[in-house]
Amino acid sequence: MSGPSTRLGERACVTTVELDGNTLFFPGLDIYVGTRVACLFDYLDNTDYKKETKYSSKYLSENPSDKVMARAAGGDLEAFVEVAIRYLSGCGMNKSPEGALYQLDVLTNPNHGQGPYFGDTAPRELKAKAHSCAAQAYLNKVFIPPAERASLAADERRFTRRDSLRVGINEPAARFTNFSNALEHANENAKLGLVSPAVLTAGFLLRDFGDAAGIDLSQMTRSRRFGPLWQTVTRRLDELYAEERIKQIKIAKNPAAYACAAEGCGIRAEERAALRKCAGRCPPDLKPHYCSPECQKKDWLRHKAVCKPGSKGRIPGVSDQPKAVALGLLGIEDTSNNGGPSTAESTEYKPQLHALPPGPARTIDIPTPGTSRGYISVTSNTLEAGMMKYIREEMMKPGNEQTPP
C-alpha cells in the first residue's frame, strides 16, 4: 500500500540530549507525552507521567519517524495513529493538525478519497483512539492562534483532504465546521467506549456552546447526533459533584454558622441570607456563599472546577452562531414558545452573586492574645464585609493589639 506519509515524503531529523542519564530528551517530548495521555488513555486512568515519559523516550529513540511512516505505508494501522500523535505534538514531525487528520482518515473517514479505508476491520480500541486523535486535531484547528493560520492553510492545500478543501481556513464557517467535526469524532469515540481527556474537552465545549446559544441541554440525552457524547459529559459531571460532596463532608465547629467560602476571609453569619450564593450551574447543595464579589472572584479558580468544569469559555468563531444553527448542529428540537432567537448573551458566562438581602448580621473573629478563646468576635448588620476585614487588619497591626480587661 502506498500510504499518505510516503507520498508526501515527510522526513524528520531530531536532536536528542540526555535527560537523567538513562532517558533521552526529544524536543517536544513533554507535549508528545501529554498528547498521548489526552488522546489514547481513558480519562479515569491514573497516569504515571514519569513512567510514561521514559516509555515514550525509549519508543521514540527506537522508532524514528521515517521508520514509523514506512510501517504505515506497509499497512500497519497502529503506525497511522502514532504518526498522527507526532503531527499533533510536533515531536519528531513538523506540527500539523492537518497532517494528523490525513493519517487518521484511513481509520475514521470512509469517504476520505485518498486510498483504502480500514475502519471497518480495525480493532475497536484502535479505532476509538483514532477518533479521539481526530477530535483533538479538529479542536486544535478551532483554537489555532492567528499567527499559525497561514501555515495551517498551506497544510490544507498540501494534504488535499476533501473535508478541509470544502471550507478554507479564512472562511467564517471554517471554525464552526471544525468544531462540528470535532464533536462528531468525540461522539464516535464515546460510542466505542474509550472516553479520553480530549473527548471530554470536546464534550464540555459542547456544553459551553449550548449555554451560549441559550439551549436547554437537558434534551441532549435524546440528541440525534451527540447523545453518547453528552452522556459522558453528564456522567463526568456526576463524578465531579460526588467528589466535591465528599470533600465537603466535615463536622463544622459551629453547625449553625455559615462562612464565606473564600479561603482566609473569616466572615461568617448565623443566617445564610447574610451571604450571597453563586448563581452558576453548580448543584444547589454545592453552591458556595460569599460575603462580597471580591471574595467570589478570589475563590473562582477553585470553584470553577465544579461550576464550569473543563470550560474554555467562548469558542472563537463558534459561540456567536444563531440558536437555529446551534439547534441544527446539536440535533435537538427547539422547545421555546415561539422558536425565535435566543436572548442569551454570547459572552463567556461568569457566575454572579444574588442581591444581598438587608438585615442579617455577619461576624468576624479578631485574634486577641490573652482572651479565653484567643479571639474576640465582632458582629454587625450594617458594616460591609470589606470594612469588617479592614477593621480586623487594623486591630492586628503591631501596637494595635487589644488588651483584654
Task: Give me the half-sphere count of Cα atoms (radius 13 Å) on the Cβ side of residue 190.
Answer: 26
The residue among 163, 195, 227 that closes a domain is 195
| Contact (Cβ atoms closer than 8 angstroms) between residue 106 and residue 118 | yes
Tell me, yes or no, if the pTM score tops 0.85.
no
User: Would 315 be classed as within a structural domain?
Assistant: no
301 assigned to some structural domain: no
Q: How many CB atoms lie within 10 A of CB 218?
A: 11
Whether residue 142 lies inside any domain: the answer is: yes
C-beta of residue 346 within 8 angstroms of C-beta of residue 320: yes
Residue 319: inside a domain: no
Give the list of residues 6+ apart from residue 225 with CB closer than 8 angstroms, or none: 183, 184, 187, 329, 330, 331
Q: Distance between CA 265 and CA 364 in Å, rounded?
A: 9
As a 3-state breakdown, the chain gives helix, strand, coil percent values, each rounded to 5, of 50, 5, 40
Q: At what angle do helices 97-108 and 77-89 cross, to 10 degrees?
A: 160
| Residue 2: per-residue pLDDT | 37
100 in a domain, yes or no?
yes
Q: How many domains would you assign to the chain?
A: 2
Q: Please give the torsion angle defined by the CA atoms of residues 246, 247, 250 and 254, in that order, rounded to the nearest 10 degrees.
A: -130
**pLDDT of res. 4:** 37
pLDDT of residue 350: 55
Q: How far apart are CA 242 and CA 251, in angstroms?
A: 18
Bin 28: left if φ > 0, else alpha if -120 < ψ < 50, else beta. Answer: left
187 in Cβ contact with 220 (< 8 Å):
no
Cell numbers describing residue 25: 530528551
Domain boundary among 195, 225, 252: 195
**The pLDDT value given to residue 396:** 78
CA angle 67, 68, 72 (to 5 degrees): 120
Q: What is the SS3 assignment for 212?
A: helix
Residue 401 lies in a domain: no
> What pLDDT score was predicted for residue 335?
55
Domain contains 339: no
Strands 258-259 and 362-367: unpaired
- Domain assignment of residue 161, yes or no: yes
* Measured distance CA(63)–CA(179) in Å, rounded: 33
pLDDT of amino acid 339: 42
Structural element, H or E, at residue 55: helix 49-62
* Average pLDDT per consecutive 10 residues, the chain (405 residues; last block may be shorter): 37 45 78 94 90 91 94 94 96 93 95 87 96 96 89 90 72 81 95 93 90 74 79 91 79 62 86 82 88 90 88 76 78 56 40 56 80 78 77 75 50
CA atoms of 124 and 236, how far apart (whole Å):
23
Bridge partners (DSSP) listed for residue 1: none
Q: With contact defined as beta carbons under 8 Å apart, do 14 and 66 qualify?
A: no
CB 54: neighbour CB atoms within 10 A?
17
CB-based burial label for 240 (10 Å; 0-12, 13-18, 19+) = middle
Give the range of the structural domain holding residue 389, as residue numbers without chain letter: 362-396
Of 148, 167, 195, at which residue does a domain stop? 195
